[in-house]
Structure 1
Amino acid sequence: MTHPIDPDRLAGILAFLQGAERLKHTLRSGFTSGGRPESTAEHSWRLALMIALFARDLPGVDLERLLKLALVHDLGEAISGDVPATAQRADDGREARERADMQTLCAPLPEDLRAQMLDLWEEYAAAATPEARLAKGFDKLETILQHAAGANPADFDYAFNLAYGTERTDAHPLLRAIREAADRATRARM
Structure 2
Amino acid sequence: MATITQLNAVLDVLKLAERLKFELRHSYTSSGRQESVAEHTWRMSLMAVLMEPYLEQEIDMAKLLKMVIIHDLIEAEAGDMSILDVLRDPSLKLVKEQREIQAIENLRTKLGEPLGSEIYELWFEFEEKSTYVAKVANAFDKLEVQLQHNEADINTWEPIEYDLSYRMDRHVTFDANLKMLKDLIEEQADQKMKASGVDTNEIRIRAAAF
Question: Do the two structures share a fold, i.e. TM-score over 0.5?
Answer: yes
1:61 is displaced (CA, Å) by 1.5
Superposed CA deviations along residues 64-104 of structure 1, whole A, max 9, x for unmatched, are 11111111111111112212222235761122321211222
Give distance in 2, aligned partners of 1:151 and 1:162.
Answer: 15
Task: Tell me what 1:170 maps to.
Answer: 173
Superposed CA deviations along residues 129-150 of structure 1, whole A, max 9, x for unmatched, are 1000111111100000000012
Give distance in 1, aligned partners of 2:8 and 2:156.
Answer: 46
Give distance in 2, aligned partners of 1:73 and 1:35.
Answer: 26
Task: Tell me what 1:117 maps to.
Answer: 119
Give distance in 2, aligned partners of 1:185 and 1:163.
Answer: 11
- Aligned-partner SS, 1:83: coil
1:110 is displaced (CA, Å) by 2.9
Is 2:24–2:37's contact at 8 Å kept on the other side of the alignment? Answer: yes
Superposed CA deviations along residues 128-186 of structure 1, whole A, max 9, x for unmatched, are 01000111111100000000012353554451332344311223112111111111110
In the superposition, the TM-score normalised over structure 1's length comes to: 0.90
Is 2:168–2:182's contact at 8 Å kept on the other side of the alignment? Answer: no
Question: Where in structure 2 are there 5+ consecutive unaligned residues?
Answer: 194-210
- Aligned-partner SS, 1:108: helix
Give distance in 2, aligned partners of 1:155 and 1:70.
Answer: 25
In the superposition, the TM-score normalised over structure 2's length comes to: 0.82
- Aligned-partner SS, 1:184: helix
Task: Tell me what 2:164 maps to.
Answer: 161
76, 87, 110: which one pairs with 1:108? Answer: 110
Task: Tell me what 1:12 maps to.
Answer: 9
Give distance in 2, aligned partners of 1:113 and 1:28.
Answer: 28
Question: Where in structure 1 are there 5+ consecutive unaligned residues?
Answer: none
Identity percentage of aligned residues: 32
1:9 is displaced (CA, Å) by 1.1
Task: Tell me what 1:53 maps to.
Answer: 50
Root-mean-square deviation (CA, aligned residues, Å) is: 1.8
Greater Rg over alpha carbons, structure = 2
Point out the structure with the larger helix share: 2
Q: Which amino acid aligns with 1:131?
A: V
Q: Which amino acid aligns with 1:181?
A: L
Task: Tell me what 1:95 maps to.
Answer: 97
Structure 2 counterparts to residues 120-131 of structure 1, below 5 A: 120-131=122-133
Q: Which amino acid aligns with 1:32?
A: T
**Matched positions, count:** 187
Give distance in 1, aligned partners of 2:144 and 2:14.
Answer: 24
Give distance in 1, aligned partners of 2:63 and 2:157.
Answer: 38
- Aligned-partner SS, 1:163: coil
Answering whether residue 75 of structure 2 is matched by residue 84 of structure 1, we say no
1:63 is displaced (CA, Å) by 1.5
1:62 is displaced (CA, Å) by 1.4
Give distance in 2, aligned partners of 1:98 and 1:154.
Answer: 27
